[in-house]
Amino acid sequence: MIPQIIKNFLDSDIGYSFIKSKVAIVSSIIFLTIVLISLFAVLVAPYNPFDPKNISLMDAFTPPIWSVGGSIDFILGTDQQGRDMLSTMIYGSQISLIVGFASIIFAMFLGVFLGVTAGYLGGRYEIIVMRLTDVQLTIPSILMALLVDGIARGFISKSLHDDMAIYVLILAIGISEWPQFARITRAATLVEKNKEYVLASKIIGLSHVVIMIRHILPNILRPILVIATIGLSQAIITESTLSFLGVGFPPTNPSLGTLIRFGNNFLFSGEWWITFFPAIFLVVLALSINLLGDWMRDALNPKLKVR
């Protein structure tokens, strides 16, 4: 079953362009490795950084293994509380990825819903929705996320802040990302709507909802997929930025951004590894997703197709 699926994939045009593209292969391997590692963090990470019995202040500021004073126990060194950097990063990437995926799915639902309905129904509704996206696109997404985050925190009592952080972030990032989806899906819907198969469905008498969901949506999935991939790396970076600014995840449950923020304090006192490794990790993660998205955009675009 699974070998058959892989065989079919490799036989298709997309599979062929995948094999031909070294960038796509390397970046997808890196991305999948990171996803798998963070998914099975409990098994892969050397320590559980949230378990107090693994943390000893005696080990604080241990440098990486190859530096003077490094220890075999902590390959990438430890932070100021004595937590193993590697384990903390693996757990942190788990949080970053969860927030990234969840917020992009949220943005996708919102944006695709508004985009398809606006494109298909048209009229005054379309004007309102599209002007709304225009307005939001003038506000930088990080500012939008800060705004939503600030408002949400205003409604949540202080004691719940840390527990609710993940939901607030997903909401904030999701809301800052949806206009991209809305614009792309509206444009694609406008193209599909005037194709003759949609006209034929209208003449048969199918309802607008059925036409939108069953006929138009499956035909505009490609651009949505591309936007979602590139949006995923953006969401992860936005989350890190928010955490870096101190409005994201609390130090007790650090994401990659939170780790970079801690390390930043020690950067000039010589403990460079605390900020350096999470930052590199973040760059590699975002880059691999972006390159994958770029390849996908080219491979799925019939106009750029090479035989």
Residues 32-51 that bind another protein (CB under 8 A): none
CB 276 within 8 A of CB 292: no
Closest to another protein by CB, 70 or 122: 122
Q: Which is nearer to another protein, 139 or 200 (CB)?
A: 200
Closest CA to 100 of 255, 292, 247: 255
Query: Which of these segments, 35-43, 45-53, 174-182, 196-204, binds another protein (CB under 8 A)?
Result: 196-204
Q: Residue 201 or 290: which CB sits closer to another protein?
A: 201
Residue 280 in the binding site for another protein (CB under 8 A): no
| Smaller CB separation from another protein, 158 or 307 | 307
Nearer to another protein, 27 or 185 (CB): 185
Using CB under 8 A as the binding rule, whether residue 219 contacts another protein is answered as: yes
From candidates 186, 193, 215, 261, binder to another protein by CB under 8 A: 215
Q: Does 218 bind another protein (CB under 8 A)?
A: yes
> At closest approach, how far in Å is the CB of 201 from another protein?
8
Beta bridge pairs of residue 66: none
Q: Which of 1, 43, 196, 269 binds another protein (CB under 8 A)?
A: 196
Cβ-Cβ contacts under 8 Å for 19 (sequence gap 6 or more): 10, 25
Q: Choose which of 39, 70, 202, 223 interacts with another protein (CB under 8 A).
A: 202
Minimum CB distance to another protein, residue 179 (Å):
25
- Residues 144-183: x where in contact with another protein by CB under 8 A, - otherwise, as a string: ----------------------------------------
Residue with tokens 């004073």: 69
CB 176 within 8 A of CB 146: no
- The reply to whether 200 sits near another protein by the rule CB under 8 A is yes
Q: How far is the CB of 274 from another protein (least distance, A)?
A: 50
Binding piece for another protein, criterion CB under 8 A, among 30-38, 181-189, 215-223, 284-292: 215-223
Binding of residue 307 to another protein (CB under 8 A): yes
In the bound state with another protein, the residue whose beta carbon lies nearer, of 105 and 206, is 206
Interface residues with another protein (CB under 8 A) are: 16, 195-197, 199-206, 215, 218-219, 306-307
